[in-house]
Chains A and B, each alone.
Chain A
Amino acid sequence: MRVVFTLNGRVVEVDVEPSEILLDTLRLKLGVKSVKRGCERGECGACTVLVNDAPVVSCLLLTVQINGSSVTTVEGLQSDSLFMELASEFGKNFAVQCGYCSPAMILTSYAFIKKVLENSVKPSREDIVRAIEGNLCRCGTYPRVVRSIEKVLERRAKAAPQI
């Protein structure tokens, strides 16, 4: 079946099997290697991508389901200033160990921050923890991921005009 969708800002057309999962299409057909295979049942979050800006695990999506959607992976965000600011906080705060979950973890974090900024809300630490709860990290980088998100939010809050 032919599926057409936007991948990192570019329209792609790809022939897929009806049962093909987005994870396989991305990794095997489109060369997107940042999306990782971890469990293939939607538990670990390592294959997270953004579909229309919302984090989704690509192992539980059939590629045919994303026809007409917009898919974003870290490959497509490397000139996005908010994303790069967050990436730099991940580095500074040692929020990366083995790195296998990192592209997915930062995508989820990025989507959360974007939503928070769009809605001008002030999330609690608990909100941040909830946001990244679906991304497993066996190295235990969680406290530092939370800290990285907080740093970006703090900076943005300072930069934002006071109402």
Chain B
Amino acid sequence: MVIKVVEDPRAIIKRWLTAESFITVGRSLERADSMEKVLGRARFVEDFFEEGFLVARIVLAKVPHARIRRMVYDRALENPRIYRVLTHRDIPGENQVGYAIPDQPLLAEGKVRYYGEPIAVVVGEDPDSVNNAVDDVVLEADPLPVLYDPLEAMERRDVLVHEALGSNIAFRTKVRKGDVELGFSKADVVVENTYRTHHQEHAYLEPEAALAVPDLENRITVIATIQYPHLGQRIVARVLGIPSSYVKIVAPYVGGGFGGKDDEGPLVAARAALAAYHLRRPVLLYYTREDSIQTHPKREAAVVKYKSGASRDGRLTAIEVTIVHDTGAYANRGPFILWRATMHSSGPYHVPNAKVDGYCVYTNKVPQGSFRGFGNPPVQFAAEAQMDRLAEKLGLDPVDFRLMNMLRPGSETITGQVLPSSVGIHEALKKLAVESDWRIKRRMYSESREGRFRRGIGVAVGWHGNSTSRAVPDWSNSYIHISRDGSVSVYTGIVEVGQGSPSSSHRQLVAEILGCPIEKINVIFGTTDAPDTGATHASRGTSVGAIGIVVAAGRIRSRLESFLAEYFNVQREDIRISGGDVVVGDRVRMRWEELVALAYSKGVDLSATGYFFLPKGSFNDEVGQGFAYPVFSYIAVVAEVEVDTYTGRVRVLEVHPALAVGKVINPEAVKTQVEGAIIQGLGYVLMEKLAISEYGRVVNDNLTDYVIPTAHETPAIREAVFVEDLWEYGPFGAKGVGEMAFIPMPAAIANAISHALGVGITELPLTIEKVYSLVKQVVG
């Protein structure tokens, strides 16, 4: 029999999307990296440091806004163990690292725009000498007026963070749908509030570091704490003025990223590379915890003005939203973050009339950047608080009111995009309401609002577009090669930053598709030696990152089937390859290894790439309508809290999540992402607050004063409800998960506290002092 080899990505994706029985997919197989990590064998960037390597640190500006006269560092160089102090003058290529807008230097040039901005790199022989030298670099600069409030900065023309732009507004977005005035005129209830959210520090346990090793002919290898090796390659090449192909980036195990190392990683790599370029020796550049907190971009601090209306029958009629992001000194990924906030501002609801405006505004503060949720948590916080207030006014239960307006397959979003399928949030919330005993508890707590300890239960939903916003190109890729012994090497640019995709889902997908024994698979991840797979951000490690793996493995599988069909003269239905067993018709049986040996001897190509370019539509900026994302992931959470009205202390007793994230490749691995995001979200809402002084300095630049959750603050997290609303292009229908549970957490906790106290909440964080003042409002 002749079976045509299927090489077409779409056909391959579809074949595995419609698979019905699974060997490894859908099973909670243990991660391949857990043992080496607990046994201390997993190597992180600093673990590659050897005696004889040089060390380097960045020097940070200690002024918030100033024109640079010169930098003086003679004293630093008096120590013979200090080799160089590098400034922007030492950059052989371009001193330009802005991701969205070319507004950011690698090392300050001309001006300093925030306290904590890197101005120089000190390179020396040992950490002590370098630490001392850092303090001996003096910046002589003329102070300029500072801007800290984004609302003020928007109006000012006399003080500009970036003069060339002529305004402090770095970027604007808009969405227009229907006619909001008409929509509000049809509303029986209208709610209008201004919501404020705050910065969040990533506080990954591993601070940033990069080890740069120079090679002959201007080639360089950088081992870095980074979430996108190929982006690091591009930035290093640009800064050094050499071709990208001369730069190799390796992300070994990365000690947490959450977006922070997506922004800062390439810059750390470039600064280390600059040092190695000049010194011609391996250089380890590392951030202290203080360096890290002072300099790297933070979660968006947002002001969201939100007006929404609904009719008496419980339908949303219109929303009008203004989002202001304080992007700090540099746009960084601010425009992308603002896009995402804008596109998601309605929540996963059908809203016939919408007017949304977004502003990304410069101030003299540490930049805003990528952090789990990427602009989405503040707008969901606002949208979901609005939903509760509207429900209250309408006399409806918050879950019922949400369900009445929720997106379903075939619904249209506020950008006019129709979502034909993979919209499982309605079902997820319905199930969650039952499993969390929502109705009983809601009634019970409503009726017992007295005494010192008051309980409340809150619900919030969230949605998150998979892939990059709008028509920004996104793709997946991988390279798979089968060795003669039947072992399988999988190359991906996806990084292992804790989420576990290379060590769990990637292996499970390859084992499922090839039918090989899973222990034969080695995933080589986080390297520019693999094809550009895009970043390990935006919950895309598996959802988008592994599409390339499905395609590459699917190609090889198809070649093997075609070969077997012809060789043994059988049909495809007669071929089974799974778990390392190969059965052809009813007479031939062999091991996977034998199949590979046979294929090698008969000329079957057992290596393949799996490029797939995500199909997207276009977004029209003029009219504020169009394609936003290929698909959305959805989540709903119910949170229960207990408020101590004597002190304002809040205990989160229980969080119950429900997700509609397509096919779940490894349920336990997915749950760990959900739990981690819940705990991080709880920290953001109740504990974490970046304190910025009048001088623009982050005051709590350490983990003593910037407090993150410990085991003690961790609430009970109930078994997640999953609705498998398959995505047509996802690996076996999988969608993104990593960020999901963070997104509704601010709203869920705030709504629960609102419920306990009977008071509206518009501002985060809900620290003990803040909650106590809310208590005072109610109790007096």
Contact = CB atoms under 8 A, between A and B. Distances in A.
Contact of A94 (B34, B43, B204, B254): B34
B519 to A, nearest CB: 15
Nearest to A84: B39
Contact of B35 (A28, A75, A87, A134): A87
Nearest to A106: B38
Contact of A138 (B28, B38, B39, B202): B202
A146 interface: yes
B257 to A, nearest CB: 8
Contact of A102 (B30, B37, B258, B500): B37
Interface stretch (B58-66, B477-485, B704-712): B704-712
A123 interface: no
B672 A94 contact: yes
Given A91-B30, A99-B255, A137 B672 contact: no
Contacts of B203: 136, 138
Nearest to A89: B38
B207 interface: yes
Contact of B205 (A46, A92, A96): A46
A22 interface: no
Given A34-B40, A74-B40, A90-B38, A98 B254 contact: yes
Contact of A41 (B499, B500, B704): B704
A98 B704 contact: no
Contact of B703 (A36, A44, A91, A95): A44
A42 B706 CA distance: 14
A36 B289 contact: no
B621 to A, nearest CB: 37
Contact of B39 (A40, A78, A94, A101): A78
A75 B207 contact: no
A44 B40 contact: no
Interface in A98-137: 98-103, 106, 129-130, 132-137
Contact of B712 (A74, A97, A129): A129
- The majority secondary structure among interface residues of chain B is loop
B34 A96 contact: yes
A145 interface: yes
Interface in B276-315: 288-289
Interface stretch (B191-199, B403-411, B569-577, B675-683): B675-683
A96 B676 contact: no
Q: Taking chain A's interface residues, is the majority helix, strand, or loop, or is none over half, making it mixed?
A: loop
Interface string B243-255: 0000000000111
Contact of A140 (B38, B289, B677): B677
Contacts, number: 168
Contacts of A133: 710-712
B31 A91 contact: yes
Contact of A143 (B34, B40, B714): B714
A5 interface: no
A38 B289 contact: yes
B702 A99 contact: no
A151 interface: no
A63 B257 CA distance: 31
Given A96-B38, A97-B498, A103-B38, A44 B205 contact: yes
B676 A36 contact: no
B668 interface: yes
Contact of A98 (B40, B49, B127, B206): B206
A58 interface: no
B331 interface: no
Contacts of B38: 74, 87, 90-91, 95-96, 99, 102-103, 106
B205 A103 contact: no
B242 interface: no
A100 B675 contact: no
A50 B463 CA distance: 45
Interface in B664-703: 668-669, 671-672, 675-680, 702-703
Contact of B676 (A33, A40, A139): A139
A39 interface: yes
Contacts of B679: 140, 142
B46 interface: yes
B707 to A, nearest CB: 9
Given A74-B38, A87-B38, A100 B676 contact: no
B34 A129 contact: no
Given A41-B704, A138-B256, A140-B679, A91 B34 contact: yes
Contacts of B215: none
Given A98-B498, A139-B498, A37 B46 contact: yes
Nearest to A74: B40
A90 B34 contact: yes
B34 A139 contact: no
Contacts of B30: 91-92, 94
Among A34, A35, A92, A94, find the residue whose CB has the most chain B CB atoms closer than 10 A: A94
Nearest to B40: A34
Interface in B648-674: 668-669, 671-672
A43 interface: yes
Contacts of A28: 49, 51
B146 interface: no
Contacts of A145: 711
A147 to B, nearest CB: 11
A75 to B, nearest CB: 6
A143 B675 contact: yes
B17 interface: no
Nearest to B712: A133
A27 B55 CA distance: 14
Interface in B19-36: 28, 30-31, 33-36
Given A102-B37, A146-B711, A33 B680 contact: no
A74 to B, nearest CB: 4
B717 interface: yes
Given A96-B34, A99-B255, A40 B288 contact: yes
Contact of B206 (A92, A97, A100): A100
B44 interface: yes
7 contacts: A28-B49, A96-B37, A97-B498, A98-B256, A99-B498, A103-B37, A143-B675
Given A95-B34, A98-B256, A136-B703, 4 more contacts: A39-B702, A136-B203, A136-B708, A140-B672
8 nearest A-B residue pairs (beta carbon): A34-B40, A100-B255, A99-B37, A98-B498, A140-B676, A140-B679, A97-B498, A43-B703
